[in-house]
């Protein structure tokens, strides 16, 4: 867990790139054996795909790179609390640990909303660590929405 801050910093960098592209600034990286195997920001506008959240994008990238659909030893770092769709994908991909930055009271599904991993129908839940890089993640989001008003 020693380099968690560094991995979250990489996810925050992806969030900033997403903001520059006009995407909602959320970034994610996927780490296997201490190395980043996938990194992305939200891509919903660029890809014209509402499922192209940062988490889904890195899960797809990593699965392609590793040649397997399940990512059992992988740790996901994302700057914002995942939504219901992403929580389900994280569960299905068998992600080992989830680190997220800012809480999302309106759209989050981990510690807010449906609390996906706590449901009896959820068959795999990662270990969850929240609050890493929280203030920076929130600042990037706030700045983005302010500039678009």
What residues numbered 45-64 form the site for Zn ion, per CB under 5 A?
53
Nearer to Zn ion, 2 or 90 (CB): 90
**Segment contacting Zn ion by CB under 5 A, of 4-12, 13-21, 79-87, 119-127:** 79-87
103 is catalytic: no
93 within 8 A of 63, measured Cβ to Cβ: yes
CA dihedral 86, 53, 105, 20 (to 10 degrees): 160
Q: Does 15 participate in binding Zn ion (rule CB under 5 A)?
A: no
Q: Does 86 participate in binding Zn ion (rule CB under 5 A)?
A: yes
Nearer to Zn ion, 8 or 80 (CB): 80
CA distance 136 to 96: 24
């Amino acid at each position: 867990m020693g380099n968690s801050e560094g991995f979250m910093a990489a996810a925050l960098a992806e969030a900033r790139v997403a903001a520059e592209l006009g995407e909602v600034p959320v970034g994610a990286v996927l780490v296997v054996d201490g190395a980043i195997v996938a990194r992305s920001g939200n891509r919903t506008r660029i890809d014209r795909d509402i499922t192209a959240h940062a988490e889904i994008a890195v899960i797809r990238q990593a699965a392609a790179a590793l040649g397997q659909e399940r990512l059992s030893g992988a740790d996901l770092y994302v700057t914002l609390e995942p939504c219901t769709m992403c929580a389900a994908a994280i569960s299905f991909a068998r992600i080992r640990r989830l680190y997220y930055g800012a809480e999302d009271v309106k759209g989050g599904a981990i510690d807010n909303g449906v609390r996906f991993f706590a449901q009896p129908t959820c068959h795999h839940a990662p270990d969850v660590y929240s609050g890493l890089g929280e203030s920076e993640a929130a600042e990037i989001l706030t700045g983005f929405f302010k500039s678009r008003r």
